[in-house]
């Protein structure tokens, strides 16, 4: 029997989008991404990239974040996020959403907002883009203290990025104007190399196998190592 968790108390997030929202999966991801990182979320300014329906922005807010800004390209998801936070009584001005392409939004934020964000979320997004290094460098230019990444990775040997095309019509895939988007899934080695090149270090991976999980039905990618959750620190002082 799945354990009760955070999203059982906010069940509307289980039906606000077409993306898979199995309660046990969301609750276990909450423990890995929010609960395990509460020390770098509570009292901090958080930037949530590809914020979807606002579930993780809301979770950060409930974990004590000072302010959360979510960036999401799909208008209906921004609308859903705003409605969900209003329904659950999130305080005005504590969580905001920006409808924009993530890379464009990061460019717009950099001139005036560098140093504003303490912690950046990049959950379920890195393997839905081909622009890994531009994305990570733009994040680094905001000079956050921490970056938390949750991403699928390629299990192929070596330091490489596995390319594929995915339909943009599917809500959980890359957004764009074409029918198909070229995206890349990095190996763990490639992920760490790119993060390091962008100025991030001190990788701390969440140990899914020591999380006391009894059933892995909805968490198989984490079980086999095809998906990882990690936090890292921004360590460079010079311009990236």
- Provide the domain limits for residue 36: 6-234
- 146-152 and 161-167 beta bridge pairing: unpaired
Domain assignment of residue 240, yes or no: no
Give the whole-angstrom CA distance, residue 237 versus residue 240.
Answer: 9
Q: Which residues of the chain, if any, have pLDDT below 50? A: 238-240
Q: What is the CATH number of the domain that holds 88?
A: 3.40.50.150
Give the whole-angstrom CA distance, residue 107 versus residue 117.
Answer: 14
Domain assignment of residue 226, yes or no: yes
Domain assignment of residue 176, yes or no: yes
> How many folded domains does the chain comprise?
1
Give the whole-angstrom CA distance, residue 89 versus residue 219.
Answer: 30
Domain assignment of residue 67, yes or no: yes
pLDDT tens digits, 48-104? 999 999 999 999 999 999 999 999 999 999 999 999 999 998 877 899 999 999 999
CB contact at 8 A, 191 and 177: no
From the centroid of its chain, how far is CA 107? 18
**Residue 111 CB-density burial (10 A; 0-12 exposed, 13-18 middle, 19+ buried):** exposed
Q: If you average pLDDT over every residue of the chain, what do you get?
A: 93
Domain assignment of residue 120, yes or no: yes
Give the whole-angstrom CA distance, residue 184 versus residue 2.
Answer: 33
Domain assignment of residue 239, yes or no: no
């Amino acid at each position: 029997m799945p354990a009760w968790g955070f999203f059982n108390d906010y069940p509307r997030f289980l039906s606000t989008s077409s993306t898979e929202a199995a309660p046990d999966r969301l609750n276990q991801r909450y423990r890995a991404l929010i609960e395990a990182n509460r020390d770098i979320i509570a009292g901090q300014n958080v930037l949530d990239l590809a914020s979807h329906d606002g579930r993780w922005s809301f979770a950060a807010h409930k974990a004590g974040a000072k302010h959360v800004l979510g960036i999401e390209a799909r208008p209906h998801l921004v609308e859903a996020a705003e409605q969900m936070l209003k329904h659950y009584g999130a305080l005005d001005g504590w969580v905001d959403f920006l409808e924009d392409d993530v890379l464009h939004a990061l460019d717009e934020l950099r001139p005036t907002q560098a140093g504003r964000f303490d912690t950046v979320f990049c959950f379920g997004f890195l393997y839905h883009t081909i622009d890994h290094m531009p994305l990570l460098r733009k994040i680094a230019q905001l000079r956050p203290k921490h970056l938390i990444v949750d991403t699928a990775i390629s299990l192929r040997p070596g330091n490489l990025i596995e390319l594929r095309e995915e339909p943009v019509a599917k809500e959980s895939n890359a957004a764009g104007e074409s029918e198909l988007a070229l995206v890349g899934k990095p190996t763990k080695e490639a992920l760490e190399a790119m993060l390091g090149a962008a100025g991030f270090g001190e990788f701390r991976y969440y140990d899914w196998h020591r999380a006391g999980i009894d059933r892995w039905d909805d968490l198989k990618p984490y079980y086999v190592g095809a998906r990882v959750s990690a936090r890292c620190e921004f360590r460079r002082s010079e311009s990236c």
